[in-house]
Structure 1
Amino acid sequence: MKWTGFRQLAVILGVFFTLTASAHAADGWPREIKTSRGTITLQHAPQRIVSTSVTVTGTLLAIDAPVVASGATSPNTRIADAQGFFRQWGDVAKQRGVQRLYIGEPNAEAIAGAAPDLIVVAATGGDSAIKLYDQLSAVAPVLVVNYDDKSWQELAQELGQATGKEDQAAKAVARFDAREKAVKASIHLPPQPVSALVYRPDGKAANLWTPASPQGQMLQQLGFTLAQPPANAASGQSQGVRKDILQLAGENMAAGLNGKTLLLFAGDKNDVQRVEGNVFLSHLPAVQGKQVYALGDDTFRLDYYSASNVLTQLEKQFSSH
């Protein structure tokens, strides 16, 4: 009788664990995520995500991913708050208790100290911690993502798949897309094509957004045409291999800014005045025609929050009503 009882118990437990495993699998876990550094396996939906990229943090917050800590940039600047978090989502991070790990240079000990079950690393850019990949992989699975060759919407969907926040990512994208369509229908485009750029404070150089950049893609979706700079306009590359920007300097800056309208990202009205007052740019059709517009300080990196702010700026400056 006892043996029969044990057998029955074993069968019951076997059925229980089988059902549990099946339910787990049906819920999408474990899942394998392909990255540029290979495939990682996540056993369950992450509960403690550490973002080493201040650029990617905004998109993680937009899809309600459980971010517990993030790298930061220099605090109290035009683009960053007292924490060194981007102003467009700094309040959201504060509400959710996101901790600052470090400012600038990635710190492996600080990252490990946050006890993450997923670490998000940018493959390129000034906020990339890719050089710490091997160290970080010993702490938790490391998700390497690119943000320089895709829109924030594509990045949101990629992050949603990795974090189990697919539905939240889809909703964020749908909200934005609906507003983008409304703005597109409500604005009157300035003279085309346009040069979309970040103007350096010293006035000696600029970064031109390419069609592959999130900024370039967003403008094209809104109906803007990006000007094609001369083939010899590029001044070189920095921050690794970048697909989203073309660096312009010296004489090449004026030659590369050949759009009939200049759209200044990461800029305000003061930047418009500086561009218009630059003697080396005074001959440009966009400058002579007073077709220089600022799209806000928080648009150097686009996420759900800053992209929404770009829509607001475009609506204000080019409203057809």
Structure 2
Amino acid sequence: MNRRSFLTLATCAAALGSSAGAVTGWPRRLTNADGSETALPRAPARILSTSVTLTGSLLAIGAPVIASATTVRGAFFDQWQAVARARGVDKLWRAGSIDLEAAWALEPDLIVVSAGGADSALAQRAALAEVAPVLVLDYGAMAWEDLTRRLAQATGREAEAEALLTGFAETLDATRAALTLPAGRANIVSYNGPGAPNPIARAKGAHGRLLTGLGFDLEDPPTGWQSASMPASADVVRASYEHLTQLSAETTFLLAGTKADAARFMADPILANLPSVQRGQVYGLGKNSFRIDYYSAREVVDGITRQFGGA
């Protein structure tokens, strides 16, 4: 990513004014993922998030989230759970379940629903709409920056989103200038071993764009590696384990990986001839890097800084 790209990212939040032109002021009509519209009479003061993935982006712009669904294990995401705790966000149901009585009791004035994913409550959309206006967003089809803008429009937090995106772009710019990167290309692998899909990040996916923004040249996996039995994704190619042996980048980052995961990858005898393994240049991208929002993106940038900052 060149300097012009950074400036574009730094000023992308300014587009909030133009992209939100149809929804300036209140009441607002917002477009859902399926093209339908949701009417909001005023800026919401009590938001219920039925998607643990969307909650992080709401918290990042300071939206008034009163309760959120959790992961299937009953937890919030590590990268923002301290923020949620400090703001008194209640835990709702676990992903894959729903409690309409709890939704009614909380008296929200906006309910946010994911269009897909394990944390989607889309099947209960009609019932939730009886409680409060429902906004449906497809986080799987949007960059985290675009998702932030959409949630800003829904909550009246455009100024906060602008500050967030501008600040992050400035951090990327400053970080890139201070890094000393290894020569050659890099790839990003979700390493699961034999007998399971091993997704590889696409260069224009969320993780690929983040590392490109830090100065890495990303190896883009062939789309033909995509497993026919798995849904396609804009962020990764869900490849089989055998395809990992065909990677050629000199550096490998492991999605949701730690130092221990990097050691396990390098100890895999089937992968012993990979250029990144031969060079000992395999790194965990961080345990919270499985899904990119503002908080996890900052964690990734901080981790890259510690590894390649040269300080």
Percent identity of equivalent pairs: 39
CA-CA distance at 1:211 after TM superposition: 3.2
The match for 1:174 among 159, 166, 183 is 166
Q: Structure 1 residues 144 and 102, CA, compared in 2 at 3 Å: closer, same or farther?
A: same
Matched, 1:118 2:110: yes
The match for 1:33 among 17, 30, 33 is 30
For residues 281 and 113 of structure 1, what CA distance do their matches in structure 2 show? 53
For residues 93 and 155 of structure 1, what CA distance do their matches in structure 2 show? 19
Deviates more, 1:107-116 or 1:149-158: 107-116
For residues 147 and 212 of structure 1, what CA distance do their matches in structure 2 show? 15
CA-CA distance at 1:54 after TM superposition: 0.9
| CA deviation string 1:121-140 (max 9, x = no partner) | 12222222222222222222
For residues 165 and 225 of structure 1, what CA distance do their matches in structure 2 show? 34
> What residue number does 2:92 align with?
101
Matched, 1:143 2:165: no
Deviates more, 1:119-128 or 1:29-38: 119-128
| CA deviation string 1:36-68 (max 9, x = no partner) | 221111000011111111111111001000001
Report the residue type matching 2:199 in the other structure: N
For residues 96 and 287 of structure 1, what CA distance do their matches in structure 2 show? 43
> What residue number does 1:273 align with?
263
> What residue number does 1:69 align with?
67
Q: Structure 1 residues 201 and 99, CA, compared in 2 at 3 Å: closer, same or farther?
A: farther
8 Å CA contact 1:205–1:253 kept in 2: the answer is: no
Corresponding residue SS for 2:252:
strand
Corresponding residue SS for 1:131:
helix
> What residue number does 2:123 align with?
131
For residues 23 and 29 of structure 2, what CA distance do their matches in structure 1 show? 14
8 Å CA contact 1:71–1:106 kept in 2: the answer is: no
CA-CA distance at 1:241 after TM superposition: 4.8
| CA deviation string 1:76-104 (max 9, x = no partner) | xxxxxxx5011111111011110111122
Unaligned 5+ segments in structure 2 are 1-21
> What residue number does 1:152 align with?
144
CA-CA distance at 1:294 after TM superposition: 0.9
CA-CA distance at 1:222 after TM superposition: 1.9
CA-CA distance at 1:183 after TM superposition: 0.5
TM-score normalised by the chain length of structure 2: 0.85
> What residue number does 2:239 align with?
248
> What residue number does 1:3 align with?
none
8 Å CA contact 1:149–1:214 kept in 2: the answer is: no
8 Å CA contact 1:149–1:212 kept in 2: the answer is: no
Moved over 4 A (4+): 201-204
Q: Structure 1 residues 259 and 236, CA, compared in 2 at 3 Å: closer, same or farther?
A: farther
- Count of residue pairs brought into register by the alignment: 288
For residues 49 and 313 of structure 1, what CA distance do their matches in structure 2 show? 32
Q: Structure 1 residues 131 and 184, CA, compared in 2 at 3 Å: closer, same or farther?
A: same
| CA deviation string 1:154-204 (max 9, x = no partner) | 211111011101111111112211111111101122233221122227784
For residues 142 and 267 of structure 1, what CA distance do their matches in structure 2 show? 35
Report the residue type matching 1:41 in the other structure: A
Corresponding residue SS for 2:224:
coil
8 Å CA contact 2:232–2:238 kept in 1: the answer is: no
Corresponding residue SS for 1:140:
coil
> What residue number does 1:21 align with?
none
Matched, 1:58 2:72: no
Corresponding residue SS for 1:287:
helix
TM-score normalised by the chain length of structure 1: 0.83
The match for 1:221 among 213, 216, 239 is 213
For residues 108 and 248 of structure 2, what CA distance do their matches in structure 1 show? 47
For residues 23 and 122 of structure 2, what CA distance do their matches in structure 1 show? 33
